[in-house]
Structure 1
Amino acid sequence: MLKNNYKKVILIILLLLGVAYQNNWLHETATSEINLNESENQQLQLISPSHKSAKKAKKPIIVHLAGAVNKPGVYSLPAEARLVDLIELAGGMTAQADLAQVNLAQDLRDSEKVIIPVLPQLDLDTGRKEVALIAANPDQTSTNQPLININQASQAELEKLSGIGPSKAAAILKYRKQQGKFSDKNDLLNISGIGEKTLANIIDEICL
């Protein structure tokens, strides 16, 4: 009798332990699932703003291009585009573009206007005046041309003077050797072959 009661007690204890173990396992499983769901929700919340930022970063920009390009106008480009990409869309730069002032690696901003500068133009009126002046005075030398000292010049240096060839240069050297240094530019008129016209051509090219 006691033995049977003892077995029943043992059996009841085992059943209670089994029920307790099962309840504990179910509780831990439910808790793990809840924690997992919460963790996934937190990760989704953290990831979601990044996706939104990425979408915003990929939004195209609108840029106005003007100046020395083949097709000026308004263009839509990716947000990470550079000036070189914009110029390529516009068919490239013209021959008048001032490349020294263009940064092809320049970043672009939405609603920005970019102007490709043009090379400085020559003052045509000034150019025409200079050409006319040279045509009217073909024998006039530049004021930057160094003067030739007729008291010290060599044969080769004298031949650089307007209208002075080897024979006239030799005559100047011969006169200087015989008569001494020139005291006046007009003394050149004393040399055979040098007249007033020749002197007028070289008067601004020589010194004493």
Structure 2
Amino acid sequence: MTFIKKYKIYIILLIGIFSIILINYEDFFQSDNISANEYSEVLITSEYSESEQEHIIVDIKGEVNVPGFYEVPSYLRVGDIIKVAGGLTENADIEEINLTSKIYDEMIIIIPSLVQNHEDNTSDALIKVIVQIKGEVLNPGVYEIYYNSRISDLIQLAGGLTESADISEINLASKVYDEMVIQIPTIEEETNIMPNQDLIKILVEIKGEVLNPGVYELYENSRIYDLINKAGGLTIEADINNINLVEILEDSQVIIVPKINDSSSVENKRIIVEIKGEVNNPGIYYMDEGLRIYHLISRAGGVTESACLESIDQAQILEDGMTIIIPSESTADEEVERKILVEIYGEVIHPGTYYILESYTLIDLIYEAGGVTTNCDLSKVDFEITLCLGATIYIPSYDDEVIENTESDLININTANLETLMTLPGIGQILAQRIIDYRAEYGSYLTIEDIMNVSGIKESIYEQIKESITV
């Protein structure tokens, strides 16, 4: 008793310390487990295993509540890091961010702002710049593209990548600027040799406006246009303007092909065109009025390796109901017959512009237009007329008066074909083709003097031919 009384204070103090240690046992001895439990509450994957203890440093910026550097387990995904950083702000824009992407050491994640994106889109939407792309793209060259477009948009405009393209060190999300030159390098032979590469497969899902949405198994390094082809192609209402068709797919990735926003047709009139042949995604597409054939080729995923574009005027403006056929090199070698654009109106069932073979007769063109109406007067139709590029054909009715042609010896520069134009003094094959190309791009000549707008035809040549031509 004497001992207990003597050391009573010390005994109480020891009991108190022991009690505190028991209560906070996990804080003293299991701090690592607490860290793991905290992360487990924000995991969006189930890949964690107790053996994985590697930690990495990630920097997250922009529209998160607590931006900064974080030391986290290497098995986390981008969506996990956002939660670790306190979640997204109200202005966060994650439309183009893949939340399932794996993270890596020293990774920088930037969450953009909706407000900033809106300001950029409204102020720079109409500004265009000139850029050049070289190397491993299907159609290298100089292109006009909207300011704030990305390198991925430029690659699509150039027809997509070749099989030998190496984009491992190219940031496809970088913005382009005026007079920029992009070089797409070739894969080096030693990096191209990967044992068992062909045996590696991934699973991806595609939803939205494709004919057969679902989950598909593809080879590693396949691209989005490969997935679209495997899903049966696009529907008529698919909108792939904001989809990078050459993007390489990753395992477990989900691709959503959106539907065309009907409200957009209020501002820009849309037309329906068809593209066939050597493109990656042939089919029917809605396009904005005023766009050209090269826009349609880009929309269809670019041309294939066997495509031949020599006979295609990519600068030609698209017309509603037009069908574009991209020939292959093999068929081009067999001298595929040239196609021309002609317009027919008047007493036909379906008046409009048609893309037809150059050998077509007027009867063939009338058949393409659905035939004549019951009010058509066939006795007034000249079926011997030769169809040429840019020609405009009128099918008369019974009420129309026949106007005799008093200038039968004159050559109409709006309807004459190549051979006829070459009969003019001073006009060879090159100038004759320029006359045809000019009217196809800018429309019919209003006066005979307008022919001097054609490159190479000056006043001296005009003086030789002015008495022989008409409009």
> What TM-score, normalized to structure 2?
0.15
Q: Which has the higher contact order (CA 8 A, sep 6+)?
A: 1
Q: Which protein has the bigger helix share?
A: 1
* TM-score, normalising length: structure 1: 0.32
Q: Which has the higher strand share?
A: 2
